[in-house]
Structure 1
């Protein structure tokens, strides 16, 4: 097993924390970003030589670039994990303009900034791996999640395009699409818009049951999911997508099958809008 250096955003909780813990336990090095150093003080104390925490708000593009530059200046970084993000729930009209701006700046623009900042360094060192944390909600849409989906569908399109651009440089890109997992994302950090009475009983509020642990815990094990993500760094070529969780995979397959059926039914419509043959 080759020792690697990883740059991971958002390591104070959730998948970021699970990844960092397992990597440090196996002897890898991690540069991990947080907004509060106290949240990772235990890891910094236990792994003083292999864990370097950095303060970073990914909505600050200049700070993202400075953090990435500093990480690579200290030596080779083998894997960059764009993980920082959060969930925002509520009907589209319940969400405020400020909430729209912030979730896009965090989940979408922040991830784009991180990847763009890392690319020159990865090219210069002759390759590496980018792992973009998404969700099966990057393929499947649910009511009450419109802005969250907007960020994840957006970052998946960005990452899939970049994967094709950088493959000639030996840089692999993987989009990770976990299903529901027992992390702070669902049970702690999720943000909920102020409700509008008209949406009570509406499918847009179905997320309330999902966020309530009394209704049953999510099936995904963050530790097993983190182990699968780490293992993917050894896979060549890099898998473009990884769906984690049987429930997530079945939901994704069902939606994609219906989407393909819908496209297939439009063959005549699509063809009738072309110029006639020979013109």
Structure 2
């Protein structure tokens, strides 16, 4: 959080590309410090000109002991971290039956377990320093689902459940938490998408038809997305200064429309069960 001209310190995962890279560049350009936890430190070599305002640790965030060690070193070396931007993640496509065991485990490890462990690792430090902000990247896919994205959505719905729960647990310590739910953004996400081998049984189903679109787009899967990564990054930086911290920030007109539709549908489904729901209650004691 930045007050006036004071320098703030951010800890960022997934800082080498996409939204994480855009946030890192904007922070450094405005004079802030960034502790970047990345798998490929060489991908940030072009930012070394910012000197000691860029602190880099080489770490695989799915390696929990290594992640905890990197967090400890970041707080020790920098003294204080004002904002933790948990942004590392990946996507996988395939019908639930098509996904390999490794794909299932990798999606859960990177998109859910790693951010959970990152948050658990930073909380003692944020409590000790008297507060701070956590910004967790999710997606509109944390509120909706799309055919072929079962494990991606499972991981995002999972991190949303964990994050929303601890919002109330840590508010008393001055720690605010916001979930970021972007729609499609023009980042290299498509190039990193893991696509499972196809089963012939799904060829003429919605999964198979969606697979054709994805494979046809190739690395340019997000090339026509509505979201501008620079504008998304700016919105994320700005929300860090908002008080109180909003629980969620939906970014993109596509995300707003999709999430609004999903929530409206779920509410209608809930109302449809209004008559039957109380019939399963235990009779009131006489």
Give the shorter-chain TM-score range.
over 0.9
Aligned to 2:40: 36
2:34 maps to 1:26: no
**CA drift at 1:216:** 6.2
* Structure 1 equivalent of residue 243 of structure 2: 236
1:52 counterpart SS class: strand
Match of 1:71 in 2: 74
Structure 1 stretches of 5 or more lacking a match?
none
Moved over 4 A (4+): none
The one-character-per-residue Cα deviations of 1:224-253 (angstroms, maximum 9, x if unpaired) are 000000000110000100000011101100
Match of 1:255 in 2: 262
Q: Distance in 1 between matches of 2:183 and 2:211?
A: 14
- 1:81 is paired with a residue whose SS is strand
Q: Which residue number in structure 2 is paired with residue 191 of structure 1? A: 194
Deviations 1:33-84 (CA, angstroms, capped at 9, x unpaired): 111122111012x212211121111110001110111111121000011111
Q: Give the number of the structure whose residues are more often helix, by fraction.
A: 2
Q: CA deviation at 1:196?
A: 1.1
TM-score when normalising by structure 2: 0.94
Residue in structure 1 matched with residue 93 of structure 2 by the alignment: 89
Q: 2:211 & 2:243 partners in 1: Cα distance? A: 37
- Contact 1:138 / 1:177 at 8 angstroms: preserved in 2? yes
Point out the more displaced range, 50-59 or 213-222.
213-222
RMSD (Å), alpha carbons:
1.4
Q: Report the 3-state secondary structure (helix = DSSP H, G, I; strand = E; otherwise coil) of the residue aligned with 1:234.
A: coil
Aligned residues of 2:13 and 2:86 also touching (Cα < 8 A): yes
Tell me the number of residue pairs that the alignment of Structure 1 and Structure 2 aligns.
Answer: 277
Could you tell me the TM-score, scaled by structure 1's length?
Answer: 0.96
For residues 104 and 201 of structure 2, what CA distance do their matches in structure 1 show? 21
| Match of residue 178 from structure 1 | 182
Which of 160, 166, 188 is the aligned partner of 1:162?
166
